[in-house]
Structures are given as C-alpha cells and as structure tokens.
Amino acid sequence: MPSLAESFNEVMAVEGVRVAALVDIATGMIVRSAGEPAGDFPAAAASMAGEARAARTMLGPGRTGGGDLDEIAVATSGRLLLSTVLSPRFGEGLLLFVDLDRARVNMALASLQIGRLAAGILA
Amino acid sequence: MVCAVSGTSGVLRITGDPGGTIHLADGLVTAVETTGAPGPEVLLLRSRRVTESRWDAAFAAAAARGRPLSAELVAREMVGAGELEALLLTAMADAIFVLASGTVDEYRAEPGPSDGGLALEPGADPAGLLAEASRRIKVLMSVPSPPADRRERLVAAPGAVRPGVRLGAGQDEILALADGRRTTRDLAFALGRGVYATTLRLAEMHAAGLLVPASASTASRSARQAGRPAARARQESGDELPRRKGLTGRAVLPRRASAARTPRGLLRPRSNRDDNPG
C-alpha cells in the first residue's frame, strides 16, 4: 500500500513548506512526518493537537455558532503553521500539520492549496 | 526490545501485567497485541463506520486468497491506505505505551516468521515507539490529577449529567459509560479509543469535576446518608488537614519517579527495575 510519506510529497512541493506531519489529535503523537523537523516540532505538534481538542470543546457542534473544526492557523513573523483536520474512520481525528516559511507564502493561498491536498492524504 | 534492535524477525512474548506480544520483521515492529489496549480491529469496529459483517467477510476473503488482511480492507474500500497506516501506527503506539506503563515479569524472543494479523508493512522503528511511550508517560506525570491507578473506576459526578444538556467533544459518551464499574482500560475498549487518549480525557473530566472515583462517590453517599460528611467532620475537629487527592480519591504524596515510570525503565523486567532504580 502507498505510504503516508509518499502522500506527503505533494504537500512538500507546495511553496514555502518546510515540514509536514500527520498528528493524532487525541494524543499529540506525530504519526508520520516529512521534511526536516526542528527540535521543537514534536512539542509544537502536541500543542496543536491540544489546541484542536480545546477548540472542539469550546467551538464544536452544539455551541453557539459552533460547528466542525476545519483548520487552525498560527502565524508568527517567521512561520506559518497550518493544521487541517482530517476525519478518519477511527479515533478523534488527525491533523495535517504543516510548517511554512512565512516570508515565502501567501497565507490564504497556502491554506487553500494544503486544504485541497489534505483530502487525499488518507486515501 | 533487544532483538528488535538487532534486526531479527519473530515475536517477543512479554509476560506481566498486562503483558503482550510484539511482532517484528527485520527489526521493525509490525504489530503489537495486548489485552491492555484495544487493537486496530476494535478501534475500527467501535467507530461504527465499519460493520462487523463486512470485517468478517474481508477476513475470510483475505484468508482464502492468501493475501494480507490490510490489502483486503483497502481493496474493499473499507479503509484508505493512508488511513490504515495511521490506524496501525496509533494502535501500536498505544499498545507499547500500555506495556511500558505496566510490569514485565519476563520476556521470550522467538525468532522466525511472524503472523501479526493486521500488520504494518514495513514496520515501525522500535526506538520511535519507545520514545513516544516515554513522552506519554511524562505527560501523564505532569497532569495535575493523573489517574494514579489504571484500575480505578470512575463514575459521573452528581449533577454532571443534566437532561437536555450536551457537553460535546465526546464527554457525554464517557459520562454515559462511566458507571463506576469500568476501568480506564474498559472505557477505552467501550469507546473504541486508545488507553492513553482515554486516560487524558478522564483526567481532564476529573479536573473539571465531571467524574469522580467510584470509591469516593460511594463514601460521599454513605457520609451524606449518615447526615454529616465524615471528612468535613474530621477537618472541623482538627483531626485531619486537607490533603492533596489523586484521581483515585485517596490522599497521595508527591511521588518520586520510579524506575517503572521512567524511560529507562521501559519494558525492563520488574526484577531488573527493582534492582536498578532509575
């Protein structure tokens, strides 16, 4: 079967992408990754999984104006972290967690491109 | 895990609590079986997005054709290839976490071909799995109210379940299942979630006052029936100072990290841990 790492090739080809990873929302575990993660990447991934859990609790279905969580974007002066929610047939979901070079990307375009590719990651 | 590092194939049978079997191919972990954590089959079937009848049919077809069950599941579009890989990796990590958190009385390596059922091909790096187990154990040790005893049974706190009010994020399902008889492991199997993920959710809900230990609940009920909370009576009389409580409801002291809870103690026989703490 094709590996997740192979599926990451397209994500890694998006302009500005430094690292891509699949993160288990329930545990913060990095399931697979591509690129060269910096030392803080596992902590950032676990933190993002925690954010996703918290966002679901506070903004999920049943909350006023709430709904299914689609994406979390965090931007610093140097980095753009995009986390797109994937919904496999088990568990609490996965994040396609992508670390981009802020100076090289248009935030809206990057979000659109990665969102389109995310759908095929679990296929 | 010694034989995994050396690149052998076969199985590593671990006797202990809960114990289990680690399947290896060329030094990589292809499957882990333990009664202490739900395997990929349970995780998939409990999601109710794959029916038991379709699973049985795929299992029978794979056996008849002599091809891996994983390939059969993907061919029948019961699960995507990437999805299955993620499922196997997360289930494996959870099982290793459970084994590493438990005790090992002894282990036995059996070199040779291994039939791990629903196996990951190629397998996962054992060092990575142990690092993930270590990370999880460290996280649980830092949680303010960690489930100190995985056999502890939890129950919904009085008033936690209110008619017509949904808490969301899976908490309502946990409250419905936490009947004071199920352990964390039992809840993980019933929910179709990993033991570590379930432990985190239970700790969060306990911290939020939604769950209480069944023993504390029973004691509280008994005290109320007696007309006066016993603990408060002791505090008011000055016989006892308030003490920090663990998730078990029992008073606990800050624990020194034991060998069994440290990364260096992972999957080492209990006797070795006792002899060489830390």
B8, B1 Cβ separation under 8 angstroms = no
CA of B212, closest CA in chain A: separation in Å?
20
- The per-residue pLDDT for B196 is 94
For chain B, the domains span 2-143, 154-236
Residue pointed to by tokens 């395997």: B39
Nearest to A52 by CA among B89, B169, B97: B169
Per-residue pLDDT band at B222 (split at 50, 70, 90):
low
Phi, psi of B72 (to 5 degrees): -65, -45
**Which tokens belong to B117?**
């059922």
Per-residue pLDDT band at B254 (split at 50, 70, 90):
very low
Q: Report pTM.
A: 0.81
Between CA B250 and CA B233 the distance in angstroms is: 17
CA of A54, closest CA in chain B: separation in Å?
9
Range of the domain at A112: 4-121
Q: Rg (Cα) of chain B, in Å, rounded?
A: 22
pLDDT in tens, A86-115: 988 888 899 999 999 999 999 999 999 999
Interface A-B, measured as beta-carbon pairs within 8 A, has a size of 97
CATH number for the domain that contains residue A51: 3.30.450.30
Q: Which residue of A has its CA nearest to B71?
A: A1
Residues of A in contact with B94 (CB under 8 A): 27
Distance of CA A118 to the CA centre of its chain: 9
- What ipTM was estimated for this complex? 0.91
CA atoms within 13 Å, Cβ hemisphere of A106: 4
Between CA B83 and CA A86 the distance in angstroms is: 10
Question: Per the CB < 8 Å rule, is B81 touching A53?
Answer: no
Distance of CA B53 to the CA centre of its chain: 27
What's the average model confidence in pLDDT over B82-91?
Answer: 95
Question: Per the CB < 8 Å rule, is A88 touching B86?
Answer: yes
